[in-house]
Amino acid sequence: MQLAKLKEQVKQQQLPNHIAIIMDGNGRWAKKHKFKRIMGHKKGVETVRKIVEISGEIGLKYLTLYAFSTENWRRSKTEVDYLLKLIIETLDKEIDELVEKNVVIKFIGTDKGLSHSYRDKIESTSQKSWHNDGLHLNVAMNYGGRRELVEAVQKIGRKVKSGEIEAADIDEKLISAHLYTANMPDPDLLIRTSGEYRLSNFLIWQSAYAELWFTPVLWPDFTQKHFLEAIWDFQNRERRFGAR
Ligand code: IPE
Ligand code: IPE
Ligand code: MG
């Protein structure tokens, strides 16, 4: 089906509130083309642009992109340095257009391991978009689902200790409210590219009932059409939430 037609079709049905994507396969894409791994990441940024663009066009509310995990520090220093630099440079380059397109950009993840100046820079740059009310674009940067839960438990523990709340007050709602994604809907659709079938520590609490969509396509080859196909597929699934 043509892109325009698919787009119309998708817009006529209820959209997922929140789509989360594990953007995987940059390294393999580079290898396939006999480039260095970092070229795959560079190419991957172009896919990010296209996916953010179409998300805005169809009126999606929340998009969360996995950019760098707490486990990605295990990669070579050259690759880690390149990725950190690429993320900040891309933000710098795109921020004005994102602001203009009514996008709200937020970084979710831990400060641990990042320099103060790096964290300050991404915060202050993304702050420029915080008055907007269009697409909420979350960049999961230095993100790990287990780390997120550890930090939530620490925050809650401090509140119990100070007497602000009691242990018996701790429920699912309270835990959700102490995650990086506080006040956001849980992802309804989680996409992973590159033919890997795992969560890799991504939104492990929030994705408890997400619909999963996998494709062998490598992230740099992922198109707007693939994205719409995933949404269309989602729209034709039956979600039961344990009810029957
Ligand atoms: C995903 O691509 C991007 C990041 C993890 C930052 P990879 O770099 O994991 O690519 P593969 O999995 O090695 O192909
Ligand atoms: C997950 O991909 C992290 C990001 C996409 C940022 P990885 O390539 O790091 O995950 P594993 O190693 O295949 O689980
Ligand atoms: Mg990978």
Ligand 2 centroid distance, CA of 200 (Å): 6
CB 83 less than 6 A from any atom of ligand 1: yes
Q: Give the CATH number, domain containing residue 141.
A: 3.40.1180.10
Residue 163: band (very low, low, confident or very high) from pLDDT cuts 50, 70, 90: very high
The answer as to whether 106 is a domain residue is yes
Tell me the C-alpha distance between 187 and 170, whole Å.
22
Give the mean pLDDT of 79-96.
98
The answer as to whether 241 is a domain residue is no
Q: Residue written as tokens 């594990």?
A: 22
Q: How many structural domains comprise the chain?
A: 1
Q: What is the layout of strands, in order, in the sheet containing 18-22?
A: 104-108, 136-143, 62-69, 18-22, 189-192, 211-214
Best probe residue, ligand 2, of 21, 22, 24, 87 (max atoms within 8 Å of C-beta): 24
Q: Is the pLDDT of residue 68 over 90?
A: yes
- Closest ligand 2 atom to Cα of 198: 14
CB 26 less than 6 A from any atom of ligand 1: yes
Residue 20: band (very low, low, confident or very high) from pLDDT cuts 50, 70, 90: very high
Average pLDDT taken over every residue of the chain: 98
CB 39 less than 6 A from any atom of ligand 1: no
- Closest ligand 1 atom to Cα of 28: 14
Half-sphere exposure for 58 (CA within 13 Å, toward CB): 32
Tell me the C-alpha distance between 90 and 69, whole Å.
18
Residues marked active site are found at: 24, 72
Give the mean pLDDT of 201-225.
98
The answer as to whether 205 is a domain residue is yes
Tell me the C-alpha distance between 72 and 91, whole Å.
20
Q: Nearest-CA neighbor of 149 among 122, 170, 169? A: 170
| Residue 234 · residue 60 · CB < 8 Å | no
Percent of the chain with pLDDT over 70: 100
Tell me the C-alpha distance between 24 and 87, whole Å.
15
Ligand 3 centroid distance, CA of 196 (Å): 8
Q: Which domain holds residue 75?
A: 3-145+188-233
Max Cα-Cα span within the chain: 59
The answer as to whether 165 is a domain residue is no
Tell me the C-alpha distance between 160 and 89, whole Å.
41
Q: Looking at residue 196, what is its pLDDT?
A: 98
Q: Looking at residue 244, what is its pLDDT?
A: 80
Q: pLDDT tens for residues 177-201?
A: 999 999 999 999 999 999 999 999 9
The answer as to whether 72 is a domain residue is yes
The answer as to whether 52 is a domain residue is yes
Q: Give SS3 for 44.
A: helix
Best probe residue, ligand 1, of 21, 22, 24 (max atoms within 8 Å of C-beta): 24
Residue 211: band (very low, low, confident or very high) from pLDDT cuts 50, 70, 90: very high
CB 152 less than 6 A from any atom of ligand 2: no
Residue 55: band (very low, low, confident or very high) from pLDDT cuts 50, 70, 90: very high
Q: pLDDT tens for residues 96-149?
A: 999 999 999 999 999 999 999 999 999 999 999 999 999 999 999 999 999 999
Give the mean pLDDT of 199-204.
98
Tell me the C-alpha distance between 78 and 80, whole Å.
6
The answer as to whether 115 is a domain residue is yes
The answer as to whether 242 is a domain residue is no
Q: Is the pLDDT of residue 1 over 90?
A: no
